[in-house]
Amino acid sequence: MDEISALGEIDLKAVAGGFGLYVHIPFCTTRCDYCAFATWTDRENMIDDYVKLLCSEIYRARREEYWRNPETVFLGGGTPSLLNVDQVEMILEAAQPSSSAEITIECNPESTTSHFVRGIARLGVNRISLGVQSRKEHVLHGLGRTSHDGALERALDALCSAGIANYNVDLIYGGAGESTQDFVESLVEVLSFERPPTHISAYALTVEAGTPLAKSQDRHPDDDLQAERYEIAQTLLHEYGYGWYEISNWAQQGFACRHNLSCWLGGEYLGVGCAAHSHVAGERSANAFSIDRYMELIGQGKSARAKCERLIGREHNQELLELALRTVVGVPISCIDESVFNDGLMERAGEQAVLTLRGRLLANEVAMRIEAPLEESLR
């Protein structure tokens, strides 16, 4: 077990019992080659109308029985930093987060201006997630991602002048042309910033169907190299004072993202905007994927929900356990096949079984050894 606790004093019961709001902002200036998210690069003229419709979706949800003032709000995308301060204000005005809420906005360094960050900090935004991916030009190029000289430095200055010290850096490893040295240098550079991030998300590059990367076989990642990079990430992050708390997420003591943690521990959250997913009132649902369809439905005063599933009994328990399995909280020992201990995939932590480093690399295989209880609810 990692002795650095990314969870720190976070009250896990409160987090798992909390209510979060996810707001999807589906606009980007260019599309990265690996990206399969719901985002559009030719619709910036629609941002204002989209935000108004988002807000009406939130106001509508506020009339539902499940609604509570959110303890976490997460604006993700897409590129939420393409919004202006007034638009963020409209969303938070509609959302009415609780006074102690964690409020995160995902930003691309290029659009993280000082004016924007100061403005959103005044509105109560207290956490920023920066999409950096790599510090190496040729690696970004291999990912089909644009970068601008000095953009990250300017974004970090903006965070500093706005007094936002709680920020995440997203990294991706396994891109074409990336050597192990490139990855190590990128990670160390980020960890050595004058004010280092409180949180690091390091994702293995995945090939999503329908993306330009999927068609470009010579840029597909190598599994063994990715496993090696993961182990390097764990070693370096631990050395620099970060503890892992979910397979792809590490944080300084107590700086785990409460919003994501709540989702992984079975908490309730409402997703608004196109393609947003929700878990409320015992159901999992997803909004219409296309921005046009979403705007049409909400504009007509209808629900944007495209799919809905009621999870009960063993199926529900299985899903909850598979999510928790990927976290440092782990799953009850009684719900996992004993063989995971003999195979070095999990270790005991009190009544819980938690993935070892090897287990984290083989988490999908471990998930198949979960034995979810039939009836009893795990929540």
Site residues (CB under 6 A) for ligand SF4?
Answer: 28, 31-32, 35, 37, 39, 77-79, 108, 131
- Residue number, 18 or 78, with CB nearest to ligand SF4: 78
Q: Which two tokens stand for residue 287?
A: 């909004």
Minimum Å gap between C-beta 34 and ligand SF4 is 7
Q: What is the spatial distance between Cα 39 and Cα 79, in angstroms, rounded to a whole number?
A: 8
Minimum Å gap between C-beta 173 and ligand SF4 is 15
H or E stretch at 116: helix 114-122
- Residue number, 3 or 149, with CB nearest to ligand SF4: 149
Sign of CA pseudo-dihedral 294, 300, 305, 307? negative
The whole-angstrom distance between residue 131's C-alpha and the CA centroid of its chain comes to: 11
Half-sphere exposure of 30 (CA within 13 A, CB side): 12
Locate tokens 């902002």: which residue? Answer: 25
Minimum Å gap between C-beta 226 and ligand SF4 is 18
- Residue number, 82 or 346, with CB nearest to ligand SF4: 82
Rounded-to-10 torsion of CA 230, 232, 234, 236: -150
- Residue number, 79 or 287, with CB nearest to ligand SF4: 79
Minimum Å gap between C-beta 165 and ligand SF4 is 24
Q: What is the spatial distance between Cα 223 and Cα 334, in angstroms, rounded to a whole number?
A: 32
Question: Amino acid letter at 106?
Answer: E
Beta bridge partners of 349: 352
Of all residues in this chain, which one has the CB nearest to ligand SF4 in the complex? 35
Minimum Å gap between C-beta 132 and ligand SF4 is 11
Minimum Å gap between C-beta 77 and ligand SF4 is 5
The whole-angstrom distance between residue 237's C-alpha and the CA centroid of its chain comes to: 18
- Residue number, 39 or 318, with CB nearest to ligand SF4: 39
Going by the DSSP 8-state scheme, the letter that residue 78 receives in this structure is S
Minimum Å gap between C-beta 221 and ligand SF4 is 16
Minimum Å gap between C-beta 84 and ligand SF4 is 18
Q: What is the spatial distance between Cα 149 and Cα 229, in angstroms, rounded to a whole number?
A: 26
Q: 176 with 167: CB under 8 angstroms?
A: no
Q: 129 with 107: CB under 8 angstroms?
A: yes
Q: Which two tokens stand for residue 243?
A: 């503890």
- Residue number, 274 or 353, with CB nearest to ligand SF4: 274
- Residue number, 31 or 314, with CB nearest to ligand SF4: 31
- Residue number, 79 or 317, with CB nearest to ligand SF4: 79
H or E stretch at 188: helix 180-191
Q: 179 with 173: CB under 8 angstroms?
A: no
H or E stretch at 16: helix 12-16
Sheet with 346-349, side-by-side order of all strands: 331-332, 352-355, 346-349
Minimum Å gap between C-beta 28 and ligand SF4 is 3
- Residue number, 219 or 360, with CB nearest to ligand SF4: 219
Q: What is the spatial distance between Cα 202 and Cα 370, in angstroms, rounded to a whole number?
A: 26
